[in-house]
Chains A and B, each alone.
Chain A
Amino acid sequence: MTRRLVVALVLVAALAAACSTSDSVSQTAIAALSVKATTTTTPTSPTTVAPTCANPTASLAPQGALPAPGNMPAGSFMATIQKRGRLIVGVDQTTLLFGYLNPQDGQIEGFDIDMLRQVAKAIFGDDGQNENTRIQFVAISAAQRIPFVQNSQVDIVADTMTINCARDTQVDFSSVYYDAGQRILVPQNSSITSSADLGGKRVCAAAGSTSIDNVIDTAVTGAKSPAIPVSVDQWSDCLVALQSGTVDAISTDDTILAGLAVQDPLTTIVGPKFTDEPYGMAINQGHPEFVRFVNGVLAQMRSNGTWAAIWNRWLANAHLGPTPAPPVATYRD
């Protein structure tokens, strides 16, 4: 009887030892490691059925001559920017040739960046080429372009952004500053030769881009079945995916693909352009005077050779053909 009692007691003791609450200091130390931020989800623009509109690329016409740099008209958004002392721009920092962070000198540069520097120069008389004093870069993903403009987190976005009817209802666009078209980047030994071969293939594109909508639309690609879209944050993530073999192809604008192909000589761009992608700079709908101002800057760049000079600086060696004529601006008023 006594032994049974002792055995029972020993069992209870063992159980109690196993279950007894552990040291509180140790628990504090361990619990601290699982601390998490209250998740803030970046608002993304709702995907809507593409509305139709007459001519989304028609922008607001410039009014009269550009104001002198450093002398922005009172009450205009440009005056606000001038007073602040810097233009806040939303850009891509991963797209070689258009907007990318050069790892060797730490500068963000490219075709889109030079376009924005011209806008800064028109406001301040100084494009901040050597010091980033006149431009503040905010690196955003394709999906962040519209919300960042709508929430006024940036003054303007120049980020290989296609003008279309759906986006035109959410932001204002400048006149077209580049005419791109969607093509396909594949490894050199790939069997894909045009958009018609994309059916059933894993095709990478950035989330929130027009390219990702196009690859699953057989009416656009001409393929028998839709491609399997793989969406990532940034265009260079697509190259990582292609190099690791998790996708069969990357499909987006020829401009972006040209920059990716430069970074991997074992890839090649195939097929003709199967879409038209007119690029515009996005501006908050509350600043029509700024849209007109930017269009004035673009008109000046088209006529005085600056546009061609910037094209030559970035794209002359990108296998995109001879220097094209700047896109013709169309206006709705």
Chain B
Amino acid sequence: MVQSANPSLARRSRAHAAARIRGRLATTPGRMRTAGAAIVVGLLLLAVVGTGAVRARERATTAVGGQAEPLLLGAESLYSSLANADATATNTFLEAGLEPPARRQAYLNDLATAAAQLTKVAGQAGTAPAVTSALGVINKDLPIYSGMVESARANNLEGFPVGAAYLTEGSTLMQTQILPAAGTLYQVEAQRLNQAYDSGQSWLDVVGVLLAACVALALLVLAQGFVARRTNRLLNLPMLIASVLTLVVVAWTATAFTLSAQHLSDARHHGSDPIQLASSAQILVSRAQVDENLALVARGGDPQYLADFDAVVSALGSGSGSSGLVGLAGTYPGTDATNMASYYAGYLVAHKAVVAAESGGMFTAAVALATGDSSGDELPAAAQLTGDLSNEILMSQAAFTGKSVAASNDLSALSLGVIGLLIVAGALALVGMEQRINEYR
């Protein structure tokens, strides 16, 4: 080593050392070492990009199956139980005297479901402003709503018409504040799920892995070509195996990604999609029932309810049940499409009978039709439709769970496998290179 207090001497010796390194690198073993290092860097890059992509996939798959879907189901259950509670409450109000115990129980059950789902959603839905404000509205207004329904009931028992005022105000609160807030939650959760699906099926991260793999493989191939030219030895077994291992990593990743994406796509199209269609249909059927009840309560004095009924029905589909939400919900294998269509058609026919009876001055008959207390039963047709939709939701949930678990399994061990194989490949590449370098000594 050069030891000097003279700066110019030291500078000269550093320049000398740099020249010596350049000279050494310019030799064939030096170039081989450089190539070996480049291969290791390429494989490292592939490992980083590959495991990053695998992690992202795993996260997306877990988000779909473990978080987004249960949250969406919770939000859906919250929404539909609230809508159904209001349909039951307004229906009860049409009839004179005490409501049947079963209907009272149905109302209380719906409120209990809503409360349970509200707690669940509130605990997991995060702190996005839209979510917190929607939760705030529901938390604030739901107790007011149930209080109003109880006031309505107490006054009804006394024979006081102010009960009707409490009920309509309660229902207005439900329809204009609580349900829109529940709808916001449902929408946010559906978007969250859709985003999780999209990132779990993105083909761009596959491209990222392929690009990194191309770089690594190109380095391996170039290095082997260089070594072959310099040493006149065609084959370098360790480097060849390293190349094959790299190819295996690429093939495994691509296969697992494709399978997992396919399973996610199945979960979406045979699980989430029918769940959302059937849920929306259920919610709209509840809204149509509220509309009809309140139209009867107003006895023709308020045309807005029948107008809303017509709008809701146009979204649910035509009377044949071949279009709209009911039609779409019936396109999934295993659904009771024929019965659903006929229940829906029956509901529309019964609604026409209710309107005809009411506008023809036969109010009592109209109420009997609307509450299902007569032959021609409207509530049963609606209830049967709702029942079929519930079955579709349950069936689709099972399909969803199966497919989303499969999507997760497709990725299991992939992360470890990628790292392990690439470490071995890197080691082999260095070993292969070292063999040739040693031949120069």
Contacts and interface: CB of A to CB of B under 8 A. Distances in A.
B96 to A, nearest CB: 3
B299 A2 contact: no
A255 B147 CA distance: 29
Interface stretch (B26-34, B275-283, B378-386, B420-428): B275-283
Nearest to B170: A240
Interface stretch (A65-73, A94-102, A269-277): A94-102
Contacts of B150: none
A10 interface: yes
B160 A263 contact: yes
Contact of A239 (B165, B302, B364): B165
Contact of A29 (B212, B277, B301, B304): B277
A209 to B, nearest CB: 16
Interface stretch (A31-39, A46-54, A168-176, A308-316): A31-39
Interface residues of A, number: 69
Contacts of A132: 361-364
Q: For A2, A6, A22, A131, which residue has the most chain B Cβ atoms within 10 angstroms?
A: A6
A179 to B, nearest CB: 24
Majority secondary structure of chain B interface residues (helix, strand, loop or mixed): helix
Nearest to A238: B165
Given A17-B202, A33-B283, A88 B361 contact: yes
A85 B361 CA distance: 10
B208 A26 contact: no
Contacts of A77: none
Interface string B172-211: 0000000000010011001101110111001011011001
Given A137-B299, A239-B162, A10 B205 contact: yes
Interface in B305-344: 307-308, 310-312, 314-316, 324-325, 328
A26 B197 CA distance: 12
B163 A103 contact: yes
Nearest to A137: B299
Contacts of B314: 35
Contacts of B159: 102-104
Interface residues of B, number: 75
Given A26-B190, A106-B96, 17 more contacts: A10-B208, A16-B204, A17-B195, A25-B273, A28-B277, A28-B325, A28-B328, A33-B283, A37-B304, A94-B161, A94-B162, A101-B161, A103-B159, A141-B301, A234-B165, A243-B151, A263-B161
B367 interface: yes
Nearest to A128: B361
Contacts of B96: 102-107
Interface string B62-105: 00000000000000000000000000000001011100000000
Contacts of B283: 33
B129 interface: no
A10 B307 CA distance: 50
B268 interface: yes
Top-7 shortest CB links A-B: A13-B204, A106-B96, A136-B361, A236-B165, A22-B194, A37-B307, A29-B276
